[in-house]
Amino acid sequence: MSNQSPTKQATKEATFEVCQRFFFDAAHHLERKIETEGSRRIHGHTYNAEVAVAGTVDPATGMVMDIGFIRVEVAKVRALLDHHLLDEVPGLGIPTIENLCIFIAKTMQENGLKLSRVTVWRDGIGDKCNMVIPN
């Protein structure tokens, strides 16, 4: 039997997810098989996104990672998307919420951030996409 308290033992074995949310306003158009009229025209949305880094708590810092590093990378990716025509963003592809998840993950991972999850949603119409990134 361990001499550690149940709380310390649970914390030691737990995996934490540190998250940062952000938003961006952008326009796009889509060729779709349903709801085609509005999708074909250029139109805009306020997109919300959340990125997450998972891991154990470093006993020396008390953190999985300093969230300031996540904020720096969020600012970089937000600058690539905010007030842009998504159809013209290099590397994005077809501007779907799935491809936005991939683009955000790829951009942030190229800058050294190891993400566990990316979520993109649009409150105005209720769409949401979660991308869980395997270790």
pLDDT tens profile 17-49: 999 999 999 999 888 777 766 677 889 999 999
Identify the H or E element spanning 128.
Answer: strand 127-132
pLDDT the model gives residue 9: 59
Average pLDDT along the chain:
90
pLDDT tens profile 118-127: 999 999 889 9
Whether the pTM exceeds 0.95: the reply is no
pLDDT tens profile 47-67: 999 999 999 999 999 999 999
| Domains identified in the chain and CATH numbers | 15-132 (3.30.479.10)
